[in-house]
Structures are given as C-alpha cells and as structure tokens.
Amino acid sequence: MELMKILSNPARVQVIQYLQIQGEATTKQIAEAIPNIPAPTLYRHINALLKEGALLVKEERKVRGSLERLLTINKESFASAENNIADLSYQFLMGLFARFQKYSCKKNADPQKDRLSMRTTMLTLTDENFDKFMREIAEVIKKYEENADKTGKLRSVSFISAPLEEEEK
C-alpha cells in the first residue's frame, strides 16, 4: 500500500476518516456523508483505496439488481505502515498544507469569513488526564457528526498531539 497516495489526497483522507469513525459503510452511505465530492469521483477514489489495499470489502449483497459492498478499513495494512511515524506525520501535514495552499490561491479567499483556524496550546497533563481530555474531544466530535447540519459547510478539523522535547517547553 502506498500510504503517500492516500494521505496526500483529501478525498481519500475523508473516506478513511469516515470509515475510522463509522467502522463500516456502503459506498452509498459514504457518498451521502461526503456530499462535497461528486459520486463518480468518490467511487473512483474508493476503488483506488480498494486496489491499494487500504479498504476491504467486508460483505457483498444484491440490492435491487446491483451489488452493494460493505466497506471497512484494512487495519493490517495501516498497522504495518504505522511503524514509520515520521513519514506518516509528514504525509498528514503535507496533505493539510496542500489544502491551505489551494485555498490561499483562490481569488475570493477570506480566512476570517471562512473561519480558518490554526491553534497550538501547551498543556501539562498526566497520562490519565490526557486520556480523559482525548475522550472528551472524541465525544464532542461525535456529537457534531451525529447531529450534522446538512445546510452547513463541510469543514475539515484536525487535531494533533505532538511530543515535546524538554528544551521546547
């Protein structure tokens, strides 16, 4: 699996993120959850993810004469890639950078109106409190995913927890 191809493409990242949260979904469910990507484009990306081995077909069933596939993430393929955290981090950050770069090239880019945001804060937490903090963030994210306002804008929100060396504090 070429992880670089996946993480450098925003559409593929959205599919992976959706399946990370949901666990499994049909292509139709993914298309409904990511309406900013035209269905033919989305199907092409899903097929590429299947070909790369990033996704697996968990189940196939006939629905009104068509074959419906239940998709899930191939955790084994990602587990083997996770050994190189520096490369994964680089690809993730470059994907974010590419989106900001594309946005900044738009003639009508208005970061304040579009609510672009970049924040870093330093927290001193025990491992237990950090785990609690992360669970609370996950609960907030889940709340807004489950109650998505279909008339709103699709927004990409990233959260990064990074280690600090002692001299960085």
For residue 109, what pLDDT is reported? 87
Region of poorest pLDDT, from 38-52, 53-67, 135-149, 154-168: 154-168
**Of 132 and 162, more confident:** 132
| Residues paired with residue 24 on neighbouring β-strands, in sequence order | 72
pTM metric for this prediction: 0.54
Q: Is the pLDDT of residue 3 over 70?
A: no
Residue 7 pLDDT level (bands cut at 50, 70, 90): low
* Interval 1-8 mean pLDDT: 64
pLDDT of residue 159: 79
Q: Which of 45, 67, 69, 47 is nearest to 57 (CA)?
A: 69
pLDDT, residue 49, reads 92
Instruction: Give pLDDT, residue 168.
Output: 54
Q: Which fold has domain 3-168?
A: Arc Repressor Mutant, subunit A (1.10.10)
What is the share, in percent, of the chain residues with pLDDT greater than 70?
84
Span of 4-13, 39-48, 108-117 with lowest mean pLDDT: 4-13
pLDDT of residue 164: 73
- What's phi and psi for 48, nearest 5 deg? -65, -40
pLDDT given at position 116: 84
Contact present, 80 and 66 (Cβ < 8 Å): no
pLDDT greater at residue 168 or residue 8? 8
Q: Quick one: pLDDT at residue 31?
A: 92
> What is the spatial order of strands in the sheet that 55-63 belongs to?
24-26, 66-73, 55-63
Q: Where are the domains of the chain?
A: 3-168
Question: 88 pLDDT exceeds 90?
Answer: no
